[in-house]
Structure 1
Amino acid sequence: MTLVTHVLACLFGIGSWVAINGMWVELPLIVPEIPEGWYLPSYLTVIIQLANVGPLFITLMHRFKPGALDERPVIYGIVVMGVLATFLLAFLWKYTLTMGDTTHSVALLVLSFLLSVVDCTSSVTFLPFMMRLQPKYLTTYFVGEGLSGLVPAIVALIQGVGVVHCKNATNPHANANVSMGNSSWGSAEGELQAHYQPANFSAQTFFLFLSAMMVVCLVAFVLLNHCPAVAREHKRELYISRGLAEKKGELGLPLQNPGPEQKPMLSPLDDPVMEPRSSFGKGTYSKPEIVFIFVVLAWVNALTNAVLPSVQSYSCLPYGNQAYHLAATLAAVANPMACFIAMFIPNRSLVLMAALTVIGTGFGGYIMAMATLSPCPLLVHDVSGIALIVLTWVLFVLTLSYVKVIIGIILRDEGHSALVWCGAVVQLGSMLGAMTMFPLVSVYRLFESGDPCNTKCPK
């Protein structure tokens, strides 16, 4: 039954962010049909940050009324809301409402807000729920969380979202072969124009697929709670009881071998950074080290969830549409791959965590530099430039995803409350990253997009 529980934990993790990730990959099909046009990504960025009211409420409840809130009813509520919202989205996303002189896709925006509440709140409820299962299933959950981005991306690729054919502007019936963004055209033929290939199936079908994925998440959650065969994999209910001091040691059990009794790092009645020293895993970590862990967690999630995704098209499209799709797809694969690696090579080293954070930030710096130089980044006319930007995106996601798993393992050893704060800091970092990039990208327009068909940079 261990394998069954691993599968259920993975399916449960997929439901954490599959809805919003699905919204992002479906944008090329949605945008031409709605009045907001390509301003929709900016609206979504703001909507997702407003949805952090959910995690804020859960975190404050755990902080000021510890033990008063059971995450299981909350999970049932948000997952059911996710099922209904994605189902309604399939039929209502085109509906508009005129307010004054402007027309808006009110149904799309409202349902996107509800889905954002679902996914943001999952960060502070799904992880603490995993405390009820054996420690080995946490990494499996992270694999599922990584797949929540990969699965909709693969379905979107099958759907044919964003596939570009370059055609001669003066003779649209004459197709032009464009190799990895290095277009060749002459003055006699005119400039090439990008024409998006019709999708293999509609956006409605895609949203129904997302609704089905949320149903799968709900079924997995029900089975994790009530299936008799999985019950043996549960910790006893006393495992999460804060009132029994003798059980507090179990909250700090490491993932591999049981260790000595340890005090949870984050007591519900104490501020997480007020303790001068805290028992942390198998060793004793100082207050600055605990602060360091949370700062790294916020920084890594800011980069991976907001800062770099907001400039992905700017960093990749100058190299061609194929480079953009390769970078997006392989980067999505890198996330669950990092979690698979962590299943076999678990690590709690703060030194390794710091080193990987610096390395991953370096990869992110190269990506940001190429986005800043768009539409004429380095090696734009060279195949090596294409390979380099794709490889950099993969390594960026791979290294920082492994850092997130390291932190998850560390905080898993520290108990239920630590995982609540883990989810809160994840959302805080993502919010700060989005708030930083929104004005730079959407207001001041510091980045210029490349043309997937025409590269007019000097050689």
Structure 2
Amino acid sequence: MALLTHTLSCLFGIGSWVAINGMWVELPLIVPDIPEGWYLPSYLTVLIQMANIGPLFVTLMHRFHPGKLSEVAVIYTIIGVGIIASFLLAFFWKETLVVAGSSRSVALLVLTFFLSTVDCTSSVTFLPFMMRLKPQYMTTYFIGEGLSGLVPGLVALVQGVGMVKCINQTQTINGSFGNSTASLELQAWYQPAMFSAQVFFFFLSVMMVVCLGAFLLLNYHPNVRREHKSSRYLEGGIHGENGELSPRENSQPEQKPMISPLESQQPAVQSSFGSGKYSWPECLFLFVVLGWANALTNAVLPAVQSYSCLPYGNNAYHMSATFGAVANPVACFIAMFLPNRSFLLLGVLTLAGTGFGSYIMTTAVLSPCPFLIHYSTGAMLIVMAWVLFVLSLSYVKVMIGVILRDEGHSALVWCGAVVQLGSMLGALTMFPLVSVFGLFKSGDSCNTKCPI
């Protein structure tokens, strides 16, 4: 039964971000067929930040009206929306409408906004739901969350998204006296995909159905329910068997609140989440590190991944993306078998991850002529930097999640809110730098015109 519960927790975690991660990896197939072209990633960034209205609403309801919002009902709702939106994308992603005199992919943008809302809201609902289960299943959930990027990436790899072949192309140059010369130049040629974007969106819809099935079994399977901490779950009040609040106990404060209304009215409060284990400076450290790690891994560095890798060749780009996606669940496995809650270790790993991220950012800034561009060592270093960057900061994020899980349901709600806040600030910082001011220059995976 423990194996079944671990499997269901992992599948439940995969559904948290699989939809938006799938959208990102499918961009090379989508972009040529829509009027927005390569401006679409910029629009996606804005839509994802607008979708933070979902977690903001849940967090404010939890803070000011604890117990009024049924967590289980919210999860059912967002998973259902994710299933419907990804299914409709398969049919309408190419459809356009004329808006203000220009053709726009309205259906694609609207449905992507709904998927973004689903995934962003999962940060403040899926994690607190895992409080129902015993502590060991939290790490399994994080493994699933890591796989939410790896699984669609592997499917896109099989599909052949973005696979480039360098071919010789004859270029004709006209002279000033009517004569012309021909020269051979390597040009990138994108190979056709094994299956269409429509099939890929059907796959995303199926993954959301699997997430719904895992959630149902985690709630109602009789053997899995034995793995629950208790059949009565505290979330701003006492829940019955279906997760609904008992009306007469609706006003009770939640168990081990991180920030509770009752505490805010007392002049002298314990400087802790409620368990007396951590001081407020330690709590602040955890949240700052959590926000910083998510800003780097979810927004800042992904925005410049192509700039940092493509100058070294298409293989370097695909290897960094694939191995980086593998590093996330690997970090979760390490956290499962070698957990360490030392604040010193978390700080050192955060500094190490930031150092690797700084190297990646430097190569992106120097694109299209970064370090060691004419040497295989350069490609090897950028791939290693991406793997170690994701590995170190993913371990930090998982261990902070485990620490906050022990502090109660409210701590996990705020954990999800900080995750979204860090990601949002990172995205809002990078959007003008990449899309407005154009500070980064793309490299050519087939032709490098840099001095040796």
Q: Would the TM-score normalized by the shorter structure come out above 0.5?
A: yes
Q: In structure 2, which of residues 234, 240, 248 is the aligned counterpart of residue 240 of structure 1?
A: 234
CA distance in 2, matches of 1:425, 1:232: 32
Q: How many equivalent pairs are there?
A: 426
Q: Quickly say closer, same or farther: Cα 1:326–1:270, change in 2 above 3 A.
A: farther
TM-score for both structures, normalised by structure 1: 0.90
Q: In structure 2, which of residues 193, 217, 220 is the aligned counterpart of residue 223 of structure 1?
A: 217
Letter of the 1:94 counterpart: K
Q: Quickly say closer, same or farther: Cα 1:275–1:102, change in 2 above 3 A.
A: farther
Give the equivalent residue in structure 2 for 1:54.
Answer: 54
CA distance in 2, matches of 1:104, 1:271: 49
Give the equivalent residue in structure 2 for 1:336.
Answer: 329
Residue 381 (1) aligns with residue 377 (2): no
Q: Quickly say closer, same or farther: Cα 1:280–1:410, change in 2 above 3 A.
A: farther
Residue 133 (1) aligns with residue 133 (2): yes
Matches within 5 A, 1:343-358: 343-358=336-351
Letter of the 1:277 counterpart: S
SS in 2 for 1:378: coil
**1:224, CA displacement in angstroms?**
0.4
Give the equivalent residue in structure 2 for 1:79.
Answer: 79
Pairwise CA RMSD:
1.9
Runs of 4+ residues deviating >4 angstroms: 241-244, 268-272
Q: Quickly say closer, same or farther: Cα 1:263–1:109, change in 2 above 3 A.
A: closer
Whether contact under 8 Å (1:268, 1:417) holds in the other structure is no
**1:265, CA displacement in angstroms?**
3.6
Whether contact under 8 Å (1:168, 1:189) holds in the other structure is no
CA distance in 1, matches of 2:324, 2:274: 32
Give the equivalent residue in structure 1 for 2:23.
Answer: 23
CA distance in 2, matches of 1:334, 1:241: 33
SS in 2 for 1:427: helix
Letter of the 2:37 counterpart: G
Residue 197 (1) aligns with residue 214 (2): no
CA distance in 1, matches of 2:201, 2:411: 34
- For residues 191-220 of structure 1, the C-alpha deviation after alignment (integer angstroms, 9 at most, x for no partner) is 211110000000000000000000000000
SS in 1 for 2:161: coil
- For residues 141-164 of structure 1, the C-alpha deviation after alignment (integer angstroms, 9 at most, x for no partner) is 000000000000000000000000
CA distance in 2, matches of 1:410, 1:441: 35
CA distance in 1, matches of 2:220, 2:2: 15
Whether contact under 8 Å (1:266, 1:414) holds in the other structure is no
Matches within 5 A, 1:304-319: 304-319=297-312
Q: Quickly say closer, same or farther: Cα 1:225–1:268, change in 2 above 3 A.
A: farther
CA distance in 2, matches of 1:148, 1:268: 35
- Give the unaligned 5+ runs of structure 1: 173-186, 245-261
Letter of the 1:68 counterpart: K
- For residues 143-193 of structure 1, the C-alpha deviation after alignment (integer angstroms, 9 at most, x for no partner) is 000000000000000000000011122089xxxxxxxxxxxxxx9752211
Whether contact under 8 Å (1:293, 1:407) holds in the other structure is yes
Whether contact under 8 Å (2:87, 2:202) holds in the other structure is yes
Letter of the 2:226 counterpart: R
Whether contact under 8 Å (2:168, 2:185) holds in the other structure is yes
CA distance in 2, matches of 1:43, 1:241: 36
Q: Quickly say closer, same or farther: Cα 1:130–1:55, change in 2 above 3 A.
A: same
Give the equivalent residue in structure 1 for 2:293.
Answer: 300
Matches within 5 A, 1:203-282: 203-240=197-234, 242=236, 263-267=256-260, 269-270=262-263, 275=269, 277-278=271-272
- For residues 66-109 of structure 1, the C-alpha deviation after alignment (integer angstroms, 9 at most, x for no partner) is 12222110000000110000000001000000123211000000
CA distance in 1, matches of 2:446, 2:428: 32
- For residues 377-426 of structure 1, the C-alpha deviation after alignment (integer angstroms, 9 at most, x for no partner) is 00000111110000000000000000001100110010000000000000
Q: Quickly say closer, same or farther: Cα 1:275–1:194, change in 2 above 3 A.
A: farther
**1:279, CA displacement in angstroms?**
5.6
CA distance in 1, matches of 2:256, 2:53: 30
Give the equivalent residue in structure 2 for 1:418.
Answer: 411
SS in 2 for 1:414: coil
CA distance in 1, matches of 2:409, 2:334: 24
Whether contact under 8 Å (1:48, 1:116) holds in the other structure is yes
Give the equivalent residue in structure 1 for 2:101.
Answer: 101
- For residues 344-372 of structure 1, the C-alpha deviation after alignment (integer angstroms, 9 at most, x for no partner) is 01121111111100000000000000000
**1:263, CA displacement in angstroms?**
4.7
Letter of the 2:224 counterpart: V
CA distance in 2, matches of 1:65, 1:154: 42
Whether contact under 8 Å (2:150, 2:325) holds in the other structure is yes
